[in-house]
Structure 1
Amino acid sequence: MTDYDVLRVFCAPNGGYGNELGVVREGSVLPDRQDRQDLAAKLGFGETVFVDDPERGVVDVYTPTARLPFADHSCVGVAWLLDVPELVTPAGTLGTRLDGEFNWIEARAEWAPPCTFRQYASAAEVDDLAVPAPGGETAADLPLGESRGTLYAWAWEDEPAGRIRARGFPARGDGVDEDEATGAAALLLTERLGRALNITQGAGSQILTAPQPFGWVELGGRVFLER
C-alpha cells in the first residue's frame, strides 16, 4: 500500500471537525493519473493530494471521482505540511503563509467550482436544514437558473463582525451528502460580499477569509496531523 499522511483541515480551536485529507508525499511512486485516481477512490477521502515536487510545492489533487485543477482544503493542508512559500497547481501558482495557529493560502475565486448560495434569516434556520434526500432537491436541479454545484446555505451570526453560519450540500455524486468545510464556497462568498469572513460550517469547522487586491482572496484555517 502506498504511504500517505492524513490531515484534518479547517479545524475548530480544539482540533476537532474539519475535513480529512490524504497526502501522498512521494507522488513519484504513482506517476500515472489513472493509478492516482484509483488510489484516491480506494482511500475515500474527499480529496487526496500527490506531491510531485516538495521543494517547489508542485501538487496534484484528486477526489474519489475526478482530478481537480485547484482544491481549497487540500492546498491549505498540504502547504502547512510542506512548509513552502507557494504551491503550484494546474490552476495556477498560489502563495501560502503561516500566521499563528492558522495556515493561509492566496487563491482566485474563479478557480473555485460553481456554487449555489442560499441566504437564510438566522443561524438557527441553517442549523435546522435537512440534508437533501436522494432524488430530492439538490444544487444540480435548483429552479430559476441557479448555478450547479454545492448548495451553500448561510446566514449572518454577527454581520458587523463578519461571522457566518453555513452548511454545504455537494451535488458531485460521490456519496458525500454534506461537506463539513467548503473553502471553495468561502472564496466565492468572500468575493461576492467583498469583506473578510469568519465562517462556522458543518458540525463546528472554522474557515477564515480576507479579500486581497487584484482579485485574490486569502483562505485560512487550522491544520492538524492525524496520522
Structure 2
Amino acid sequence: MNITSMKKDRKRFVQLLLLLITFSLLYSCKKDVVPGTQMQVFVVNASAGSGSIELLQNLKPVGSFSYITGLSSNATYLNLDSGFSDYRLRLGNTQLASWFYSNTGSRYSLFICDTAASAKLKYFFLTDVLDTSGLGKRSKIRLVHASPDTDTLVLLTTKPSNPLQDSVLIAERPYGGRASASDLTTAALFQNFYADTAVFIKLQNKSTGTIVKQYQLQLAKGGVYSFLVKGYAAKKDADSLSLSVIKHN
C-alpha cells in the first residue's frame, strides 16, 4: 500500500469517526430521556384580561386557553411529551414567555398569571399528586395564589360544629408569580378538608388581617381541589379579585 492510499484511508476513517460522534451528540440531546413517554398537564390561564393564550411545547402548538371564570371548574389534562422541553406562551403573534422545563412526575398544573405582555407574564408548574384523596368524609385541597396585587394570603374556614369560630387551614401563601422553588413545592401539596358539609372559607390578607373574600362551599367526598385566587384586588369589574375552585378528579 502506497503513502497516498494510506492517507486516503486515514481521511475516510477520521470522517467516519466525526460522523459517529455527531450522531451520538444529536441522540444524547433528544428532549425525552425515555422516547415515547408522556405526562399530563392542566393549563390554567389566570391572567386577568388576557384573552386566549397559546401554549407551545418544542415549537408545537398545544392549545389556546382563555381566562378561567366562574366559581367551579373541572380540570382537563392534556397528554404531552415528557422530559426536557422548550415551552412558550404566545398571544396572537407575540411571544410572551419562553423557558425550559424537565418534568420529574406524571401530572402537573401550569398556572399563567399577571399581565399578558412580554417580560410581565408569570407562570409556574405545580405537581398534582391525586392518588390519595383521603378516607372517610374528607376531600383534599390546596390554595394557589395568582393575584399579582394581593399580599400573602391566609386561608381560614369555619368549623361545622361552631360556624362562629374560624380555624387556620393555610397559615400563609405568597403570590405564585414571585414565589420561590420551596414555596411552590409547598403550594403543590394537598391537605385534608371537610366534604359533604357546607362550610365557609375566608381569604385573609396576612399583613392587615382583613378578610378580602368569603365563600360558602360544599366539596364532594374524595374530591381533590385547588382553590385558585386570581384577578386584581384594585379592580371592580370582571378582572377583580375572585376565586375558582378546580376539581382535579
Using structure 2 for the length normalisation, give the TM-score.
0.26
| Structure with more helix by fraction | 1
The structure whose RCO (Cα within 8 Å, separation 6+) is larger is 1
Between structure 1 and structure 2, the one with the greater Rg is 2
| Structure with more strand by fraction | 2
